Amino acid sequence: MKDKLLLIQKHLKQGTLRKMWAQSKWILQYGRRYWKSMVLYTLLGIAGSGVSLISSLISKDLVDIITGHQTGKLLATFAAMIGFSLANILVSQASGYASTFINLKVDSEIKNDIFAKMLVTDWESLTAYHTGDLVTRWSSDASNISNGILNWLPNLIIYTFRFVSALAVVLYYDPTFALFALLGIPFSALLSRPLLRRMRNNNQKSAAMNAKMYGFNQEAFSNIQTIKAFDLIRFYTDRLKSLQTEYIRMRLDFQKMSILTSVLMSIIGFIVSYSCYGWGIYRVWSNAISYGTMTMFLSLSGTLTSSVNSLASLIPTAISLTISAGRLMDIVEMPQEDYSQDSAVEKFGKQHRQEGIGLIMKDLDYTYRTGTKVFSGASLEAYPHEIVALVGPSGEGKTTMLRLILSLLKPQKGSFHICAGRNEKEQLAMSPSTRKLFSYVPQGNTMFSGTIAENLRNVKPDATDEEIVEALKLACAWEFVEKLPDGIESEVKERGGGFSEGQAQRLSIARALLRKSPILLLDEATSALDVVTERKVLKNIMQDTYPRTCIVTTHRPTVLNICSRVYAIRDKRCEVLDEEAITRMMEDF
């Protein structure tokens, strides 16, 4: 007793129980939405239990009629028996169909909901997780929750009903029989204890292991080229083997314990059923009960044992559910982005479509949560029809500045606004909502599998072929697309496969231009182009009649003299370079 109290105290101290309670409340809050499905599922389950109970009673009558213990209509009882057996099959099939249907529906709804929440989660918080881990949480943990919501509570009611109703019938006919039938319960309870203790541990380990495996596979498959180039095939196959060995060891370890438990449970089951059998024969022999009652007892003792085992199995299910809930709560309870300015931004964008939209950032401070301070008192401005360049050594903060502009990161200090044209007075604070006014071409390849036209229409579904060709021309991509046999209907493979790096970059730029966003951000997006093409692309963007504000980050100073303004990121600030400094930079290159 003292041990138990100490254990509970330890759990309370660690907050395990408190956590489990919070996780259960979180599941219930989802469950509330689906109460109708839960009620339907419960009713079907109770109907099934009722039908099988009545079948047992009819089978008793049938045996008694046959053995001459009871006079009755043999045919009618036989027909009732067949009728109820058929009803049993129908109810269990209907319940199976309903549960699959509801399960699929609830599963997709919960996954949609969690997916949407993940997408609006603060970017920096989300990047703390490996994408493999995120995918595993979203797929397996969400499925676990949807299964649990639908089954756990209804099953608790169904199994309890099954147990209580069978027990009531047994008690009614012969209370001594109940003692035999329930003989196994204390043993089952005793056995489930060590299983439960390890269950929670194992569930946690298994979820983490799945995430690790998924992450490994995902990274390996998307980096096959690098693996080959560095001759890492052996290393990666060995790594997979060692992960699999770790996984198998963990599963087998758990399986061994499960086998031991189920062997012991089965032995207990045998003892219980043979005791029931012996006791039944004795009662029939001493004329206390009929053959029919004995048959019914035997079938009901099976029901009692199985419903107790089913009730016991709900405990590990609850544990695995709370673990999944905890893993999802980690994600969905992270800070969320604020999209409250959506309509204000839309209105602002429409109002100032003609003059374009600029941006003004003043005295920004930004430090990553890891403690890396990137900006201190940095200011930057960019207006329509301008190309503003951000230059600076690697790791100085160019990409971070673009993330700040996109409100993926929030500065700790400073003012940051978009403005109408060059009018500083008419402005709107930057927020995740202002992102809809931007097009962003990040570093690396961002094309999807599909045709060139499909890729471009991803950002503007109603774009005509002419608009697509115009965007391709501005991005200097038309010169190679027009030579392709299928033109804009040519296939692009995963991650821009089938095209050179520079060609894929130009396609990405064309896609961003097609969107006609007031502000265009190019992060090293022209790095794979030759100098002539790079200058041509930027000149085209500058000369386009659309009032676009363009910000580019670059390592190459060769295009700086065509930019409206050049900021050098140094000493955590953005310093405007004069003509002389730009010329010097170009000469030094």
Binding residues for ligand ATP, rule: CB under 6 A, are: 127, 368, 370, 372, 374, 392, 394-400
Which C-beta is closer to ligand ATP: that of 376 or that of 490?
A: 376
Report the residue number, 57 or 401, with the smaller CB distance to ligand ATP: 401
Interhelix angle 233-285/185-222, nearest 10 degrees: 160
Helices and strands of the chain, counted as H and E runs? 20, 12
H or E segment and range at residue 309? helix 291-332
Minimum separation from the CB atom of position 399 to ligand ATP (A):
3
Residue among 11 and 573 whose Cβ is closer to ligand ATP: 573
Beta carbon nearer to ligand ATP, 479 or 571: 571
- Provide the 8-state DSSP code for 134: H
Pairing mode, strands 519-523 and 549-553: parallel
DSSP letter string over 106-131?
HHHHHHHHHHHHHHTB-HHHHTTS-H
Least distance CB 116 / ligand ATP (angstroms): 23
Query: Min. distance of Cβ 442 from ligand ATP in angstroms?
Result: 10
Q: Looking at beta carbons only, is 280 or 397 nearer to ligand ATP?
A: 397
Is 295 in contact with 60 (CB distance < 8 Å)? yes
- Between CA 313 and CA 302 the distance in angstroms is 16
Nearest-approach distance from CB 117 to ligand ATP, in angstroms: 21
Residues 102, 103, 106, 109: what is their CA dihedral angle, to the nearest 10 degrees?
A: -120
Residue 359 CB, nearest approach to ligand ATP (Å): 18
Least distance CB 395 / ligand ATP (angstroms): 4
Residue with smaller CB distance to ligand ATP, 556 or 565: 556
Say if residues 572 and 404 touch (Cβ distance below 8 Å). Answer: no
Separation of alpha carbons 436 and 446, rounded Å: 18
Smallest separation, CB 212 to ligand ATP (Å):
21
Cβ neighbours of residue 18 under 8 Å, at least 6 residues apart?
12
Nearer to ligand ATP, 132 or 397 (CB): 397
CB of 404 to ligand ATP, least distance (A): 10
Shortest separation between residue 322's beta carbon and ligand ATP, angstroms: 31
Smallest separation, CB 33 to ligand ATP (Å) = 36
Residue 262, Cβ neighbours under 10 Å: how many? Answer: 14
Report the SS3 class of residue 409.
coil
CB of 569 to ligand ATP, least distance (A): 7
- Side-chain half-sphere CA neighbours of 560 within 13 A: 26
Q: Which segments within 35-119 are labelled E, that is strand?
A: none
Other C-beta atoms within 10 Å of 243: how many? 15
Q: What SS3 class is residue 383?
A: coil
| Distance separating alpha carbons of residues 431 and 433, to the nearest angstrom | 5
Closest to ligand ATP by CB, 219 or 467: 219
Distance CA 565, CA 359 (A): 14
Which tokens in the block code for residue 425?
Answer: 């007075």
- Output 116 or 576, the one with its CB closest to ligand ATP: 576
Residue nearer to ligand ATP on the CB measure, 58 or 568: 568
In 137-184, which residue ranges form alpha helices assigned H by DSSP? 142-173, 175-181
Q: Which is nearer to ligand ATP, 323 or 390 (CB)?
A: 390
Least distance from ligand ATP to the Cβ atom of residue 393, Å: 7
From residue 476, give the alpha-carbon distance in Å to each of 85, 228, 387, 427: 74, 32, 17, 34
Candidates 49, 64, 60; CA nearest to 298 is: 60
**Which residue lies nearer to ligand ATP by CB, 342 or 365?**
365
Structure tokens at 536: 């041509």
